[in-house]
Structures are given as structure tokens and as C-alpha cells.
Chain A
């Protein structure tokens, strides 16, 4: 098939990652957290060793430099998301905090007794629990869109729920447990047409597919830094400006205020209204470097590379004895493969893989409702990124055969 996308050279990408330099590690857990390239580490070390200072509040050179880099990330994120304004880019601790911010600040104002919130069974706990807390507090109800046998959302059910006029509709761009790429354009368009406010959890989407928030048309989009080659402890909440303007602050404290008197406070403008206290400056700077790094490789190239890997993995794994593979066909999933081997618990699989230097995730993937739906307690999961090699998948297959030999031999 002809493609205009520049093919990605994973070996070249890999050269940027210190952790891979001794060649021993097969890291197949990027959906959990990604590895960090030298460029990100250097950007953070630069701040920590050359211009450590607080931001927004001191009139000396290194403080101005820190402020510039901290705010510079916002420009980078704005371009990455194609947001209309940097005022719509809120720094958070990660996707989880972004969704909690929306649930507390927007949700408490707009969700009332009897209101409907629509989520999906393939949502991560971070897009379920904040809404459950809110629903319990307000007497609202939550309905979950089910999946079909291939692990794809049931649009018939989604549409039936939209007829009940939900106040909020939330779903992920990509399922972390199955890799399902949700048809977000359709979901957002129809949910908006039904009058709902729409939140998209981009934790697994932003690093692998990217997003154009203006084209998508949702109201909120959240993602984490550490899954996109950036550090932990930082993430982004994008929100539609008029919504963010109308929302009360989430956390109160320094930097989110204009003036504080004993009888009241005026809040800062967007985006700082939602950034209380001294923020994670080094991490924000690292995130900027990470997004530039990933954008430099190109999201199209990353996606094509991961799809080829997924196709390869699905085919190679099919031959492993006793395997059950979960999720949709390769063309409709991101670089995530969840599976089980008959008679072997995923934890045991992960331990056996680890002894061969292969890192996979085992567990419920913070998606316990989905595990219940799949009628399993846990799965093993391999997930890929721009630096993943086919040889690593071969090593995984080798470890799984070894597991079969030990357990079922």
C-alpha cells in the first residue's frame, strides 16, 4: 500500500533512550508508562542544574528563564492539540487529576439529582471513579455502554442512552486494556448533538494517535505526560475556554489568585486559575521536550509502526498454545495486545517473562468492570511504542512457550 508517511526506524529511535543502551531490556509495557528519551532527561536536568527558580513571581534572570520554559510548554501543547488558545491548556498531575478537576469543578455545578452520566465498560478507573463519587454526592445516575464480542463499543446502546439526554458523556480515545480505538469523531458528534458535555480520556490516545481538539469538538480532553515519553507527575487538561471560564477553581492556594483579602478572593485568569501552589516545573519542562520529541518522529509514523507491530504480534501469538486474545482486529486497535494462556495466571506469565528480560503487565489494568465483562480476573498485556522492535515480540513469544513448558508441559 502506498503511504506518504515516512517509515519509522525503531532502532534509530531506540538510540535516544538511555535505558535501552545495554540491549538487555525488552520493554513491552508502554501503555503503562513509556520510557524517556535523553532529550527529556536533558531538558529536566537543565532546569534542575542551571536555572532552578520559582515561576511567575521573581524579577531575576533565572526565574524569568524558568517561567519562559514553563509557559513555553503551553505553546508546544497548544500546537500538539491544535487548541485555539494557551488559556485552554491546564497543567495537571496527569489524566486522573484532569478528570477529577472536571468532575469536581464542572460536575458539581452542572450535575444534579436524577441527571444521567454516560460512560463505557472499557473506561479506565480514572474515568469511572470520579463520576461515581460525584453521582453519589448529587444523586445522579451512571449508565455504561457495553462492548461487543470484539471489544468494540456498542453504538446501538450508545445511541439509545443518548436519547435519555445525558448531561455528561465520557469515554476513552483508546482502551488501555484492549487497545480498541474508539470512533471518537462519531461519539463526540452524536453526544454533542444530544446536548451532552463530552469528556475524552486521551491517556492512551494522545501518545499514539494524537488529536486535533478543534476538529474533534469535545469539551474536555485529558492526557498524561508519562505515557508520551515525558516524566510522571504532569499531564494536561484541555477544556473549551468558555467552560473553563465559567468553572470555579479546583484547588485553592498560591498562584491561582489575583488578590486575596480576608473577606474574599479574586481568582487568576485562565489557565492559572486551575494551577494552585508551586507546580511541577521540571516536569512541565520535560513534558514540553517529550511532545517535541514525539512530534518530531511524527504521530502518523508512530501509529503506522505500532499497527504493523500489532499485526505481527497478533499473528505470532495466535500460534502460542492455549492462548486467548482479547480485543478487535489490528486495524482497529492501538499497540496493545491483551491475552491469557490456559492454566497460567497472568502474574505467573509476567514473572516468567521478567526472567527473560521481557516486561509485560499483568492484572486488571485499572479496568475491573471490563475484566468482569470479559469474565476473567486479569489478563497479561503487551504494549508497544515508537521504540518497540519485532525482536521483542519474538522474545515474548519465546517466554510464553517457556511458560507453557513449565506449567503445561
Chain B
């Protein structure tokens, strides 16, 4: 088997997740579960003048969902919330840099779903 899918940086983010943990007094805190597999991702954001000052994620799940969440926190830290809200599914998938099958798409996009649902204050998200 080729290791394209489980590239080193994905495994690295899975084993050594960045910004992992909880934030006390978070301005935005949201958690979602993927009912298909039981994966859970939660995000805590602290804002300063509309900018994401600090971010932490927590949860459990497969390498794809956890690495994707870890990558997302790196991407949005220090960015204005409004900019983070504009992130698309395509952004997240291209950042992962691997071919994601339909069955694993939900894993890859769970953290973005949490961000959007938390930022917009609704779970208005089309899978």
C-alpha cells in the first residue's frame, strides 16, 4: 500500500495535535459529534477585537478528523473571525492534501462544521 493517504504530516498532526485542550472563558465554544462513527470535535475560541486570539480543540476520532482539526486551528489562529467564517470545505480538503473518499469526507470536515456552527451560533450546515 502506498502511504499517500496517511502522509507523515497527517500522522504527525494526529499523534501530536496542535492547540489541543480546552480554553477557560472561551468566547465561542462548540462541540459536534459525527453520529456515523462517534467522532467528537470541540473548539474553544478566544477573541480580541474580532481576531481569534487563542484556539484549542478537543475530541476523539480517526486520524483524518483529528489531523484536520489540528490543521484548522493552526490556520485560523490570529485570523479575524470573519475571515475564518469564510473558510470552505474545499479549503480544508486542499489543506489536507490527500484524496478523501466520500465515506471519509465527514471525518475531514467535522472540525469546519464545528467552527461554522460555533461562529454563526447555529448548526446551519449542509453536509
The 8 A CB mask of A59-86 against B (1 = contact, 0 = none) is 0000000000000000000000000000
B37 touches A363 (CB 8 A): yes
A51 beta carbon closer than 8 Å to chain B:
no
Most buried by A among B11, B37, B61, B64: B37
Q: Which of B1, B2, B64 contacts A347 (CB 8 A)?
A: B64
Interface presence of A320 (CB below 8 A):
no
Task: Tell me whether B11 and A364 are in contact (CB under 8 A).
Answer: no
Q: Which residues of A contact B38 (CB under 8 A)?
A: 363-364, 368, 371, 377-378
**How many residue pairs, one in A and one in B, have C-beta atoms under 8 Å apart?**
52
Question: A377 is contacted by which of B11, B37, B63 (Cβ under 8 Å)?
Answer: B37
Does A312 make an interface contact (CB < 8 A)?
no
Number of interface residues of B (CB under 8 A): 20
Contact among A346, A368, A378, A407 for B6, CB-based, below 8 A: A407
**How many angstroms from the CA of A143 to the CA of B11 in the assembled complex?**
42
A199 to B89, CA, bound (A): 46
A354-394 to B contact mask, C-beta < 8 Å, 1/0: 01100000111000100100000110000000000000000
Residues of B near A300 (CB, < 8 A) are: none
Q: Residues of A within 8 Å of B, CB-based: how many? A: 21
Q: A406-B11, A407-B11 are in contact. Are A347 and B104 (CB under 8 A)?
A: yes
Give A378's nearest chain B residue, CB to CB. Answer: B38
The answer, yes or no, to whether B92 is at the interface (CB within 8 Å) is no
A356 and B1 CA atoms in complex are apart in Å by: 7
Asked if A348 contacts B1 (CB within 8 A), the reply is: no
Write the nearest CB–CB distance from A319 to chain B, whole angstroms.
20
1/0 per position for B33-51, CB-CB distance to A under 8 A?
Answer: 0001111100000000000
Tell whether A351 pairs with B104 under 8 Å between CB atoms, given A345-B63, A356-B1, A377-B60: yes
B60–A351 touching, CB < 8 Å: no
CB-based contact B37/A355 at 8 Å: no
Of chain B, the residue at the smallest CB distance from A368 is B38
B57 to chain A, nearest CB (A): 16
Which residues on B sit within 8 Å (CB–CB) of A362? 37
Question: For the complex, is B52 an interface residue (Cβ under 8 Å from A)?
Answer: no
A362–B36 CA distance with the chains assembled, in angstroms: 10
The prevalent SS among residues of B at the interface is: loop
Please name the residue on chain B nearest to A376 by beta carbon: B38
Interchain CA distance A364-B34 in the complex, whole Å: 11
* B1-41 near A? 1/0 per residue, CB < 8 Å: 11101100001000100000000000000000000111110
In the assembled complex, the Cα of A399 lies from the Cα of B6 at a distance in Å of 14
**In the bound complex, how far is the Cα of B11 from the Cα of A168, in angstroms?**
49
- Which residue in chain A gives the minimum CB-CB distance to B6? A406
**Is B107 part of the binding interface, using a Cβ–Cβ cutoff of 8 Å?**
yes
Please tell me if the beta carbons of A347 and B11 are within 8 angstroms of each other in the complex.
no
Instruction: Give the complex CA separation of A407 and B13 in angstroms.
Output: 12
The one of A347, A352, A356, A407 that contacts B37, using a Cβ cutoff of 8 Å: A347
A310-361: which residues lie under 8 A (CB-CB) from chain B? 343-348, 351-352, 355-356
A363 near B1: Cβ-Cβ < 8 Å:
no
Cα distance, A356 to B37, chains bound together (Å):
22
Q: How far is the CB of B105 from chain A (nearest CB, A)?
A: 12
Q: How far is the CB of A58 from chain B (nearest CB, A)?
A: 43
Task: Report the nearest B residue to A343, measured CB to CB.
Answer: B15
- Say yes or no: is B93 at the interface (Cβ < 8 Å to chain A): no
**Which residues in B have their C-beta under 8 angstroms from that of A255?**
none
Is A345 within 8 A of B3, CB to CB? no
A402 at the interface (CB under 8 A from B): yes
Answer whether A377 and B39 are a contact pair too, CB < 8 Å, given A356-B1, A406-B3.
yes
B82-96 contacts to A, CB under 8 A, are none
A371-B38, A377-B37 known; A347+B6 contact, CB < 8 A: no
Nearest residue, chain B, Cβ from A408: B15
Which of A345, A356, A363, A371 gathers the greatest number of chain B CB atoms within 10 Å?
A: A345
A residues neighboring B (CB under 8 Å): 343-348, 351-352, 355-356, 362-364, 368, 371, 377-378, 399, 402, 406-407
Given contacts A351-B101, A368-B38, 9 further A-B contacts (CB under 8 A): A345-B63, A346-B62, A347-B39, A347-B61, A347-B104, A355-B2, A363-B37, A364-B38, A406-B6
Provide 15 A-B residue pairs closer than 8 Å at the C-beta atoms, listed in order of the A residue.
Answer: A345-B39, A345-B61, A347-B37, A347-B104, A347-B107, A348-B62, A351-B101, A351-B104, A352-B6, A355-B1, A364-B37, A377-B39, A377-B60, A377-B61, A378-B37
The 7 closest A-B pairs by CB, nearest first: A345-B62, A377-B38, A347-B62, A355-B1, A348-B63, A348-B62, A406-B6
